Structure 1
Amino acid sequence: MKQKKIAYLLLVVNIVILVFGLSVLAQATSRMAVTNTEGQETAKRLELPDAIALLAGAIAVAGSTLASGIALRGVATAGFAAAVEKPELTTWLLIMGGLAEGIAVYGLLLAILILGRI
């Protein structure tokens, strides 16, 4: 029962974050200042493909970070239990933890590649 409450709470938090992100994205599409060659700031509207690319980059980072956290939780719980019985497995625990953290790095790299196309 407690796990269902936590799952519902996480769902509500994710929905709130999504709505907040979309509202920020909507505001970014309406106002954006660009400096022209004379040094004057002119207003430029963010086009829809660029806005979708920004949202895709945010989703890539958020999804990979969440997946990395889930993987790291599994590695940590099983790894510490195994390390108690066999202390020589601590090196493998660190390696598996590093691989789990690599998921977040790959998501960040993907977001950088997506945003680099704008």
Structure 2
Amino acid sequence: MKSKKIALVLLAVNMAVLVASISVLASASTKILQPGLPAQEARPLDLPAALAMLASALAVIGSTIASGMALKSVATAGFAAAAEKPELSTWILIMGGLAEGIAIYGLLVAILILGKI
């Protein structure tokens, strides 16, 4: 029962990181259009801004994939250990949080990159 709750908490955190990263990339893409111009007269995306957007997307993609791989390992080993010793469920939550930290760091790097546009 506890392992299902832990899995749901970690899934919710992963979804929150995904929604935050999508909102950051959406706000960066709206910076391309100048507020006073119609869509037909929008300024084109220059190379440094395009590379910054690509780098931020790669940072989020890479960190979330790595976080998912780490979380899979933590969940597999943690649930097996919790089946034998239920008092280890706290450690599963801590290790899962550390695995989710990878995704959050990738999102922070993307925010820092997009802040330079």
Fold-level match, TM-score > 0.5? yes
Unaligned runs of 5+ in 1: 1-27
CA distance in structure 2 between the partners assigned to 1:55 and 1:99 by the alignment:
26
Q: CA RMSD in A?
A: 1.5
Gaps of 5+ in 2: 1-28
2:33 maps to 1:33: yes
TM-score by length of 2: 0.68
The alpha-carbon deviation at position 43 of structure 1 amounts to 2.1
Aligned mates of 1:78, 1:114 — CA distance in 2: 35
For residues 33 and 111 of structure 1, the distance between their equivalents in structure 2, rounded to whole angstroms, comes to 20
In the alignment, the residues of structure 1 paired with residue 87 and residue 37 of structure 2 have an alpha-carbon distance, to the nearest angstrom, of: 64
Aligned to 2:45: 46
Deviation at 1:34, TM superposition (A): 1.0
Aligned residues: 85
Deviations 1:15-69 (A, max 9, x none): xxxxxxxxxxxxx8xxx5312xxx4444211110100000000000000000000
Alpha-carbon distance between aligned partners in 2 of 1:109 and 1:92, rounded to the nearest angstrom: 25
Between the aligned partners of 1:34 and 1:100, the Cα distance in structure 2 is 39
- What residue identity is the alignment partner of 1:49? P
More strand by share: 1
Distance in 1, matches of 2:63 and 2:113, equals 14
Are 1:55 and 2:33 an aligned pair? no
Residue 109 of structure 1 corresponds to which residue in structure 2?
A: 108
Identity percentage over the alignment? 68
TM-score when normalising by structure 1: 0.68
